[in-house]
């Protein structure tokens, strides 16, 4: 694609990076076919190629973002299906991340939109305030019908039961069982530890059982992706720096072989820290090292191999490959192979490349598109006849849980169970064996 930037514009490294990406696009349009929002609306501007043109126009013209640009970029899920499809290697992720930042800096949103985004930015990445807001939302639930559209959606997504905070999320070290094979930091995250604390617990059990010493480092917290995708660059970089600093102390201390994420949305962002902090001389090299160490938990387990499984489990599992896993990190086979090795029967979900509509805060901000995507995903899952669903991203689990009709679990919960951990609570009680009363013997015993 031809571009026409001035030398002065190209002196800005972000514009120069964007220009490089824009020039790699040959506007063939292959990506439109796999873009979930284009599939839903059929509007070119709701597809990657149309969005790329909008971004090009905004950047070349050095203009503030228009309402049209904001509308169509906001409607992008950042699912990155377009990057998987693109034959020219267009790095759409970095382009749209920069576009979101330009929109945040130059476009004035309607008041309600601004307030809702502020609420999400201030609350979601912080476990304490997030837990408190969930408790308050329970009190407000009887009045949910009176709330305006997106606040009602927000309320509907809040879980009815709020689990207690898990002690595993405090800074500490979990010793490996048996000889230590690896030393890894676990990103304990933000929203996930509030909504499903059992996921970090299962991850720690699974890793330590396989010889990993697991560190929950003091000072590490939210990866920054929630605010990053809302265009809040400074907050995202602050979160990245805090995590890099926390893990750098470990790297310089006892050393780290891996930095493990068990939410693929977070893992994609960790792997991008090197790029995000590339312009900051104080942090660039450390961030690049952290990105090089970042692994999804299933990558680590695939490298180490599963212990012999306790017993085959009679579950037919549909593996939902989160976009950030399959498109963001190009990880699709490892989680499936682990589940199969653990004795689960796998079911293939049709249209597996399409997003479920979760996409960070997308299901709150764009419910009119997120809802149909969720319904489509649920219909595709039901068509498999599966008895449970596994996924490696908390956003997808929350998005699909209500209305699915079968349990949805994190992949590590199933792997933990199969290798000796407890039965995941989402599966409910095991089916009772029905005993036939014994015929009384001659002695009446």
For the bound state, the minimum distance from the C-beta of residue 29 to ligand SF4, rounded and expressed in Å, comes to 5
Measured from the CB atom, the residue of 40 and 165 that comes closer to ligand SF4 is: 40
Measured from the CB atom, the residue of 46 and 413 that comes closer to ligand SF4 is: 46
Measured from the CB atom, the residue of 355 and 389 that comes closer to ligand SF4 is: 355
Which x/- pattern, by CB under 6 A, does the window 217-256 give for ligand SF4?
Answer: ----------------------------------------
The span from the first CA to the last CA of the chain, in angstroms, equals 87
Per-residue tokens: 184: 């890894």
The counts of H helices and E strands in the chain are 24, 9
Strand pairing category for 172-174 and 345-347: unpaired
What is the spatial distance between Cα 393 and Cα 396, in angstroms, rounded to a whole number?
A: 6
For the bound state, the minimum distance from the C-beta of residue 89 to ligand SF4, rounded and expressed in Å, comes to 8
Q: CA 261: distance to chain centroid?
A: 10
For the bound state, the minimum distance from the C-beta of residue 72 to ligand SF4, rounded and expressed in Å, comes to 9
Contact call for residue 388 and ligand SF4 (CB under 6 A): no
Touching ligand SF4, residues 36-95 (CB under 6 A): 36-37, 48-49, 51, 76-82, 85-86, 88, 90, 92
The CA-atom distances, in angstroms, between 338 and each of 107, 319, 390, 420 are 45, 11, 12, 15
- Report CA Rg, the chain: 23
For the bound state, the minimum distance from the C-beta of residue 15 to ligand SF4, rounded and expressed in Å, comes to 19
What is the spatial distance between Cα 266 and Cα 32, in angstroms, rounded to a whole number?
A: 26
Contact call for residue 26 and ligand SF4 (CB under 6 A): yes
For the bound state, the minimum distance from the C-beta of residue 93 to ligand SF4, rounded and expressed in Å, comes to 8
- Count Cβ atoms below 10 Å from residue 308 Cβ, excluding itself: 8
Per-residue tokens: 131: 């837990």
Touching ligand SF4, residues 336-365 (CB under 6 A): none
Measured from the CB atom, the residue of 40 and 242 that comes closer to ligand SF4 is: 40
Among 63, 79, 105, 126, which Cα is nearest to 232's? Answer: 105
Measured from the CB atom, the residue of 3 and 85 that comes closer to ligand SF4 is: 85
Give, as one character, the DSSP assignment of residue 131: H
For the bound state, the minimum distance from the C-beta of residue 108 to ligand SF4, rounded and expressed in Å, comes to 23
Contact 272, 307 (CB under 8 A): no
What is the spatial distance between Cα 310 and Cα 163, in angstroms, rounded to a whole number?
A: 28
Measured from the CB atom, the residue of 90 and 339 that comes closer to ligand SF4 is: 90
**Residue whose structure tokens are 């292959």:** 30
Binding residues for ligand SF4, rule CB under 6 A, total: 25
**Sole binder of ligand SF4 in the list 11, 27, 105, 423 (CB under 6 A):** 27
Binding residues vs ligand SF4 (CB under 6 A): 25-31, 35-37, 48-49, 51, 76-82, 85-86, 88, 90, 92
């Amino acid at each position: 694609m031809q571009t026409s930037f001035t030398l002065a514009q190209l002196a800005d490294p972000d514009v120069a990076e964007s220009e490089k990406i824009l020039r790699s696009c040959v506007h063939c349009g292959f990506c439109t076919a796999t873009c979930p929002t284009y599939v839903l609306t059929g509007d070119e501007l709701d597809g990657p190629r149309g969005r790329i043109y909008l971004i090009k126009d905004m950047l070349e013209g050095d203009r503030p973002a228009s309402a049209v640009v904001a509308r169509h970029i906001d409607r992008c899920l950042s699912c990155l299906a377009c990057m998987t499809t693109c034959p020219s290697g267009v790095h759409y992720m970095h382009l749209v991340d920069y576009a979101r930042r330009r929109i945040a800096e130059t476009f004035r949103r309607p008041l309600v939109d601004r307030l809702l985004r502020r609420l999400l930015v201030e609350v979601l990445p912080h476990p304490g305030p997030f837990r408190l807001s969930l408790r308050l939302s329970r009190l407000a639930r009887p009045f949910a019908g009176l709330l305006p559209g997106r606040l009602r959606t927000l309320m509907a997504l809040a879980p009815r039961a709020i689990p207690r905070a898990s002690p595993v999320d405090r800074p500490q070290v979990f010793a490996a069982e048996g000889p230590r094979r690896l030393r890894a930091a676990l990103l304990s995250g933000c929203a996930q530890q509030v909504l499903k604390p059992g996921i970090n617990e299962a991850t720690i059990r699974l890793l330590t059982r396989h010889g990993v010493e697991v560190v929950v480092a003091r000072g590490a917290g939210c990866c920054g992706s929630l605010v990053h995708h809302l265009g809040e660059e400074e907050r995202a970089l602050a979160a990245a720096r805090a995590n890099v600093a926390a893990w750098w102390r470990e790297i310089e201390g006892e050393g780290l072989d891996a930095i493990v994420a068990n939410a693929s949305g977070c893992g994609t962002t960790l792997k991008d820290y090197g790029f995000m902090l590339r312009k900051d001389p104080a942090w660039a090299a450390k961030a690049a090292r952290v990105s090089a160490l970042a692994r999804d938990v299933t990558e680590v387990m695939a490298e180490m191999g599963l212990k012999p499984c306790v017993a085959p489990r009679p579950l037919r599992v549909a593996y939902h490959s989160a976009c950030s896993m399959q498109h963001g990190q190009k990880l699709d086979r490892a989680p499936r192979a682990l589940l199969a090795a653990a004795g689960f029967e796998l079911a293939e979900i049709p249209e597996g490349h399409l997003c479920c509509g979760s996409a960070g805060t997308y299901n709150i901000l764009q419910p009119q598109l997120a809802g149909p995507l969720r319904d489509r995903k649920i219909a595709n899952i039901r068509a498999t006849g599966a008895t449970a669903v596994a996924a490696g991203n908390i956003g997808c689990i929350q998005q699909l849980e209500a209305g699915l009709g079968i349990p949805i679990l994190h992949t590590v919960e199933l792997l933990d169970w199969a290798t000796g951990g407890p039965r995941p609570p989402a599966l409910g009680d095991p089916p009772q064996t029905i005993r036939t009363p014994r015929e009384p013997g001659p002695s009446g015993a």
